[in-house]
Amino acid sequence: MSRQIDELNENMNNVTVTDFRSKSKQKISEIQSLNRFKTTNDSTTIPISPANVFREKSVEWGVAIESAEFAKMMDQEDQFSSYREQFSFPKKIELPKIDVSLLKSRDEDCLYLCGQSLGLKPKSVDENVQKVLDNWSNRGVHSHFHGYMPAALSDLPAKKPMAKIVGAKENEIAILNGLTVNLHLLLATFYRPNEKRYKMIIEEHAFPSDMYVAKSQLRSHGISPEDALITLKPRKGENLLNEDDIIRIFEEEGDNVAVALLPAVQYYTGQLLDVNKLTKAAQDKGIIVGVDLAHAVGNVPVCLDDWNVDFAAWCTYKYLNSGAGGIGAIYINERYLSSYSETFPMYRGWWGNSNKTKFMMKEDFDPAMGADCFKLSNPSPVLNAMLMSSLEIFNQTSVVELRRKQFLLTGYLEFMMKSFFPQKQSQKQSNAMNDILVPSVEIITPSDPKQRGAQLSLMFSVPLSIIQEQFQKRGIVCDIRMPSVMRVAPTPLYNSFTDVYRFITNLYEIFQNIDSLSVTANNHELLEEAFTAETERSYSSISSDSEADSVTGSNTL
Ligand SMILES: *Cc1c(COP(=O)(O)O)cnc(C)c1O
């Protein structure tokens, strides 16, 4: 039986790989005809796009863009190709729901395209965290000020590289808490509603946590979100936010708005907004602007000082690879720090004191000069060592340099998606098809590389659960976000063009095998079921362990 399955798999692979090759051949002739086209046109009039770069290289190398060879040659040209070695790639065999029969070896790395959710672990983390633990072993309480990464000062080394990454001054940055906590702290300071200005602006499809923060902050002032929360939404039938619409809202409603909380890169669609332009428009109307950089930091160039935003917050475990639950960071524009006075509205804790007086246990708060005055509690040196391991890698380069590779890498993913997969059909056609679903895909992320980072968000005509199940079997890691998006982020620090090529060939195979599929349950229901079942399984495995602990009396909770 299992031999039969093996044979079946083998046959399937052969069929689809050949199909893929013949498709590549067909593409070569397309390129050749494109060449003819090009020679009769002034190439300077062709706008710079990743596709144009690929076409030029393809001609120069005599290799079709759609071939494995092309990806390999792109990797050979990639100045970042060796950075991959600095990260741990999970093995396929360790991943849930992997189909072991598809493995060539037990040692195969997974295809990781999920840096937008949790960045991979820098290998140096092991050694650096061990050094922190050793320091604690060896020095006990003296590890606060002595030895490797003294605990009490452990957040300070990250400030300089972090300031560089977000285009700020070191004193405007503090490393503390998690993102949601920080958004609350910052809004406690910056959202000071009065009779006239009491509204808050946020995107309608904000990350849920940001939305909870916004609504609960309003309520903490006795203000109802129904009255006071203005949500930014795409136009009807569109997926992306329209900047002109946002500016119009600033102009129309601005006099009543206290704070606007904007994303730099929208988590669901991958859209990069022109924060500079939006900030100026909002501030012209007297609105305070806060930016959530969760999906922007380490991904796209960020220039907080130039953009002149009032405050910002971000997590560090996505493109910044600091590990799950990694320590967060904030930015406070210098103008607030220089005008700080005793009445500055903020939550205070002993760790916000100046380093000079922090341990004198003074009754009066003596704020640190800079954003550090927002710190409340002493930080974990383990988290800071994890963050520093990653920032040291970023310090070997810059986000601006990485952006050049991103332009090509994400552009290559987009180019290949468009070459090999039917794009979404018009509404009419798909209605006519009734419940026979032809697999097609729509990229909802902007196609202009200036309006996006690494991530492309894909919407499939077939249930996401089918694609995701196949991905899991094959050890392809990207994530799905309800209601209907798959997010794929080739990350320039550690992903290669060959990674993208493999993603495409796998997806192509999957599409070949779900040609015409009638589906009874809709996308959403299937997914929700799968999510709930998986979460329940994880929880029950934890709680049964702790039950066992309590029986043996070792449960200290
Ligand atoms: C990832 C992310 C979060 C997560 O919040 P934590 O407090 O770090 O758990 C919040 N908001 C946005 C926009 C995110 O992308």
Task: Out of 315, 387, 457, give the residue to mutate to test ligand 1, the one with the largest number of ligand atoms within 8 Å of its CB.
Answer: 315
What is the full per-residue pLDDT of the chain (557 aa) written as tens digits?
344 334 433 433 443 444 555 555 555 444 444 333 333 333 344 458 999 999 999 999 999 999 999 999 999 999 999 999 999 999 999 999 999 999 999 999 999 999 999 999 999 999 999 999 999 999 999 999 999 999 999 999 999 999 999 999 999 999 999 999 999 999 999 999 999 999 999 999 999 999 999 999 999 999 999 999 999 999 999 999 999 999 999 999 999 999 999 999 999 999 999 999 999 999 999 999 999 999 999 999 999 999 999 999 999 999 999 999 999 999 999 999 988 888 889 999 999 999 888 888 888 999 998 999 999 999 999 999 999 999 999 999 999 999 999 999 999 999 999 999 887 754 444 444 444 566 789 999 999 999 999 999 999 888 888 899 999 999 999 998 877 799 999 999 999 999 999 999 999 999 888 754 434 344 555 556 655 666 676 667 666 554 444 433 333 33
SS3 of residue 460 by DSSP: strand
Tell me, letter by letter, the H, E, C secondary structure of 169-225: CHHHEEECCCHHHHHHHHHHHHCCCCCCCCEEEEECCCCHHHHHHHHHHHHHCCCCH
Task: Out of 261, 267, 316, give the residue to mutate to test ligand 1, the one with the largest number of ligand atoms within 8 Å of its CB.
Answer: 267
How many whole angstroms from 316 Cα to the centroid of ligand 1?
Answer: 10
- Look up residue 107 and give its DSSP letter: T
Closest CA to 344 of 377, 371, 312: 371
How many whole angstroms from 409 Cα to the centroid of ligand 1?
Answer: 25
Q: How confident is the model at residue 549, as a pLDDT? A: 42
How many whole angstroms from 6 Cα to the centroid of ligand 1?
Answer: 42
How many whole angstroms from 179 Cα to the centroid of ligand 1?
Answer: 6
How many whole angstroms from 345 Cα to the centroid of ligand 1?
Answer: 24
Q: With contact defined as beta carbons under 8 Å apart, do 70 and 491 qualify? A: no
- Assess whether the C-beta atom of 179 lies below 6 angstroms from ligand 1: yes
How many whole angstroms from 202 Cα to the centroid of ligand 1?
Answer: 15
Q: Which atom of ligand 1 is nearest to the CA of 292?
A: 13
Residue nearest to atom 14 of ligand 1 (CA): 294
Q: How confident is the model at residue 135, as a pLDDT? A: 98
Kindly give the interhelix angle for 381-395 and 159-166, rounded to the nearest 10 degrees: 50
**pTM (predicted TM-score):** 0.87
Please enumerate, by residue number, every residue annotated as part of a binding site for pyridoxal 5'-phosphate.
179-180, 207-210, 292, 295, 317, 350, 378
Q: How confident is the model at residue 531, as a pLDDT? A: 57
How many whole angstroms from 315 Cα to the centroid of ligand 1?
Answer: 7
Q: How confident is the model at residue 343, as a pLDDT? A: 84
What stretch of H or E contains 305?
Answer: helix 304-307
How many whole angstroms from 313 Cα to the centroid of ligand 1?
Answer: 10
- Assess whether the C-beta atom of 209 lies below 6 angstroms from ligand 1: yes
End-to-end, the C-alpha distance of the chain in Å comes to: 49
Question: Cα–Cα distance between 304 and 334 in angstroms, integer?
Answer: 11
Question: Cα–Cα distance between 53 and 72 in angstroms, integer?
Answer: 16
Closest CA to 436 of 523, 520, 528: 520
Q: With contact defined as beta carbons under 8 Å apart, do 274 and 296 qualify? A: no
Token pair 């100045």 in the structure block, residue: 79
- Look up residue 363 and give its DSSP letter: S
Q: Which atom of ligand 1 is nearest to the CA of 295?
A: 15
Q: How confident is the model at residue 534, as a pLDDT? A: 64
Q: Which atom of ligand 1 is nearest to the CA of 181?
A: 7
- Assess whether the C-beta atom of 315 lies below 6 angstroms from ligand 1: yes
Q: What is the DSSP string of 118-177?
A: SPPEETHHHHHHHHHHHHHHHHGGGGGTSSSS-GGGTTSTTHHHHHHHHT--GGGEEE-S
Residue nearest to atom 1 of ligand 1 (CA): 294
Q: How confident is the model at residue 47, as a pLDDT? A: 55
Residue nearest to atom 13 of ligand 1 (CA): 207
Residue nearest to atom 8 of ligand 1 (CA): 179
SS3 of residue 342 by DSSP: coil
